[in-house]
Amino acid sequence: MNIGKIGAILGVAVMLTSCVSQKKFDALNENYNTCITNVGERQREIQDLKGVNSGLSSENALLKGQNDALKSSLDACLSNSGKGSANIDKLIGEINSSNKYIKQLISTNSKNDSLNLALSNKLKRSLDNIADGDVQVKVLKGVVLISLSDNMLYKTGDYNVLPAAQDVLGKVAKVINDYDTYSVLIEGNTDNVPLNASTLPKDNWDLSALRATSMAKILQTKFGVNPARITAGGRSEYNPKTTNASVSGRAENRRTEIIIMPKLDEFMKLMDIAPVKN
């Protein structure tokens, strides 16, 4: 009886032992599977981190290269700082010279404008009794221009100044003599109607030049204008004020102009002191 009880007890114990071992196995197996899953995830994370690290390494190499280039540039700037300062000083000097030159030009130009305006007004007062169609006085591009029609000055195709016109030239000469530091340019102009003559003037070039020199001689010999101040020349038909297609247009183009202007040597003095680029 006792042996039977012992056998029963042993059987129960074996069964209990078998049940506990199965539970542990299942738990261990589940834990193993979890570990395998975690290992796979960690491996994927490692691969991702390796990719990030590779990118950071490339970026670091690029930044290092840029840093080296900047360092080289800085070293070059520091080594050339003395030269750079010299170049800046030179540039500042050139700018100051240019500013001084510009101020001189502005001052000279303002002075000339004032003198030209006064000269123009004086001429207009002197020639107030002359018909506007025969005499025009204006300030143009820094000079005073007196335009005299050929109807008042000459006979058709001739270059000798008419006696009646010499009164006008006398008034102009008086103003020219008052402004004795100015140069005087006399230009003859014609229309485009050709001349067919065997003697002078043979063409419009001759006619325009002879009319200008004829006026210059009168200003010199009769009214005492210094001939060293006078330049005379002809422009033929190639400097028209208006069209030559009409009678009135051709009449306007036939003219002799007296241009009173500052002497060129005054401007040449300014050119001599102009800043020179090296």
Mean local confidence (pLDDT), 192-202: 90
pLDDT, residue 207, reads 97
**Are 238 and 192 a contacting pair, CB within 8 Å?**
no
CA distance 220 to 227: 6
CA distance 219 to 231: 12
Tell me: the pLDDT tens digits for 6-18? 555 555 554 555 5
Mean local confidence (pLDDT), 88-117: 66
pLDDT, residue 79, reads 67
Structural domains of the chain, count: 1
Is pLDDT at 94 greater than 80 in this prediction? Answer: no
**Are 244 and 237 a contacting pair, CB within 8 Å?**
yes
Residue 168 belongs to a domain: yes
pLDDT, residue 121, reads 79
What residue numbers bound the domain in which 215 lies?
115-269
Q: How confident is the model at residue 20 (pLDDT cuts 50, 70, 90)?
A: low
pLDDT, residue 9, reads 58
Residue 176 belongs to a domain: yes
pLDDT, residue 4, reads 58
Kindly tell me the sign of the dihedral angle through the C-alpha atoms of 244, 248, 254, 258: negative
Tell me: the pLDDT tens digits for 137-168? 887 777 888 899 999 999 999 999 999 898 89
Residue 103 belongs to a domain: no
Helices 2-79 and 81-126, packing angle to 10 deg: 50
Comparison of pLDDT for 129 and 21, the residue scoring more: 21
Residue 5 belongs to a domain: no
**Are 253 and 242 a contacting pair, CB within 8 Å?**
yes
Residue 132 belongs to a domain: yes
List residues bridging with 185 in a β-sheet.
231, 259
Residue 76 belongs to a domain: no
Q: Could you tell me which of 208, 80, 87 has the C-alpha nearest to residue 153? A: 208
Tokens, residue 191? 């229309």
Residue 227 belongs to a domain: yes
Residue 207 belongs to a domain: yes
Q: What is the 3-state secondary structure (H, E, C) of the chain?
A: CHHHHHHHHHHHHHHHHHHHHHHHHHHHHHHHHHHHHHHHHHHHHHHHHHHHHHHHHHHHHHHHHHHHHHHHHHHHHHHCHHHHHHHHHHHHHHHHHHHHHHHHHHHHHHHHHHHHHHHHHHHHHHCCCCCCCCEEEEEECCEEEEEEEHHHHCCCCCCCCCHHHHHHHHHHHHHHHHCCCEEEEEEEECCCCCCCCCCCCCCHHHHHHHHHHHHHHHHHHCCCCCHHHEEEEECCCCCCCCCCCCHHHHHHHCEEEEEEEECHHHHHHHHHCCCCCC
Is pLDDT at 61 greater than 70 in this prediction? Answer: yes
Question: In the predicted model, what is the mean pLDDT of the chain?
Answer: 78
pLDDT, residue 109, reads 62
pLDDT, residue 270, reads 47
pLDDT, residue 21, reads 74
Tell me: the pLDDT tens digits for 223-275? 999 999 999 999 999 999 999 999 999 999 999 999 988 876 655 554 555 55
Is pLDDT at 276 greater than 60 in this prediction? Answer: no
pLDDT, residue 77, reads 65
Determine if the peptide bond prior to 201 is cis (ω within 30°).
Answer: yes
131: domain CATH number is 3.30.1330.60
